[in-house]
Amino acid sequence: MKAIIELGKRGSVFAAARAQLAEGAPVDFRLSFESARTLFTELTPARMELLDTLRRSGPCSIYALAKAAERNYSNVHGDVARLLDLGLVERQDDDTVFVPFDAIEIRMPLPMAA
């Protein structure tokens, strides 16, 4: 399963999910932001790097993730909390965190020329 992050109006993820269901295709996780500014405020380079580190290392504690990423525990803890809120990271019963996706796609349509 992959995560698709895109720009779109509120509720647009529901229309895309309905279309996938109608086709009988597996439903990908979708996350939509109203602007590129919001997207990049939430998905900072540090958070994207954390996703990469976590995916490569597999399920681990936040402490172990901070050590693997060579970052301050407090900052990693805050970033993981936000990634959990966004649904890009999940927590297991043993309190380890992991990335449940094989891939993350970011889609940003460019405006048409006038």
| 55-78 tens-digit pLDDT | 999 999 999 999 999 999 999 999
Q: What is the mean pLDDT of the chain?
A: 88
Q: What is the DSSP string of 7-72?
A: E--TTHHHHHHHHHHHHTPPPPEEEEESSHHHHHHHS-HHHHHHHHHHHHH-SB-HHHHHHHHT--
Q: Structural domain tally of the chain?
A: 1
CA 87 – CA 99 distance, rounded (Å): 9
Predicted local confidence at residue 13, as pLDDT: 47
Tokens in use for 88?
Answer: 């890009």
Predicted local confidence at residue 11, as pLDDT: 54
Per-residue pLDDT of 32-48, as tens digits, reads 999 999 999 999 999 99
How many of the other CB atoms lie within 10 Å of CB of 35? 9
Residue 113 in any domain: the answer is no
Percent of the chain with pLDDT over 90: 75
Predicted local confidence at residue 22, as pLDDT: 57
- Beta strand 97-98 with 90-91 is antiparallel
pLDDT band at residue 105 under the 50/70/90 scheme? very high
CA 105 – CA 49 distance, rounded (Å): 14
Tokens in use for 40?
Answer: 């990049």
Predicted local confidence at residue 39, as pLDDT: 95
Residue 19 in any domain: the answer is yes
Predicted local confidence at residue 9, as pLDDT: 72
Q: What is the CATH number of the domain that holds 86?
A: 1.10.10.10
Q: Range of 23's domain?
A: 2-107
